[in-house]
């Protein structure tokens, strides 16, 4: 039997790495634990769960397969962040430059969710754990 894989990181590719790092720091509170400004590559948070990379870094990592997105409308991928205060996280993201997609609402299974689109195009979700009440 092969080893069970453990999730490492989600990489957000961006035109403006410093601005994208600043946006994610403000919205998530995750600080860079590694940041190569020359290459344009940063790992955020103690668990390095989010990475920000330049398109040049993408070409270095995926030498035969990297293709830059042709628009800032990234679909089919979402980065979701646990929070007890979904509405506050949503507001912070919008104030930091995100586009509001779906304000805070309770789903039929009891989870509170809200969604924004980050300036580089990634969909961000702010969610409670199922069965956990959101902050009033």
* pTM listed for this prediction: 0.85
Share of the chain above pLDDT 90, in %: 68
Q: 129 or 135, which is more confident?
A: 129
Domains with residue ranges and CATH for the chain? 10-61 (3.30.720.120), 78-127 (3.30.720.110)
Q: 65 or 20, which is more confident?
A: 20
**Closest C-alpha among 32, 45, 37 to residue 16:** 37
Strands of the chain, DSSP E: 10-14, 32-36, 41-44, 50-54, 78-82, 99-106, 112-117, 123-127
Question: Within 13 Å, how many C-alpha atoms sit on residue 22's CB side?
Answer: 9
């Amino acid at each position: 039997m092969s080893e069970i894989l453990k999730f490492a990181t989600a990489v957000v590719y961006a035109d403006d790495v410093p601005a994208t790092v600043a946006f994610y720091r403000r919205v998530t509170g995750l600080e860079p634990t590694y940041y190569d400004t020359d290459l344009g590559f940063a790992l955020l948070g103690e668990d390095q769960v989010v990475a920000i990379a330049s398109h040049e870094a993408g070409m270095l990592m995926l030498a035969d397969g990297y293709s830059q997105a042709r628009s800032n409308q990234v679909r089919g991928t979402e980065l979701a962040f646990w929070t007890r205060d979904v509405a506050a996280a949503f507001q912070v993201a919008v104030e930091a430059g995100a586009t509001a997609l779906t304000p805070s609402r309770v789903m039929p299974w009891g989870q509170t969710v809200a969604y924004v689109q980050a300036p580089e195009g990634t969909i961000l979700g702010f969610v409670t754990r199922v069965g956990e009440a959101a902050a009033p």
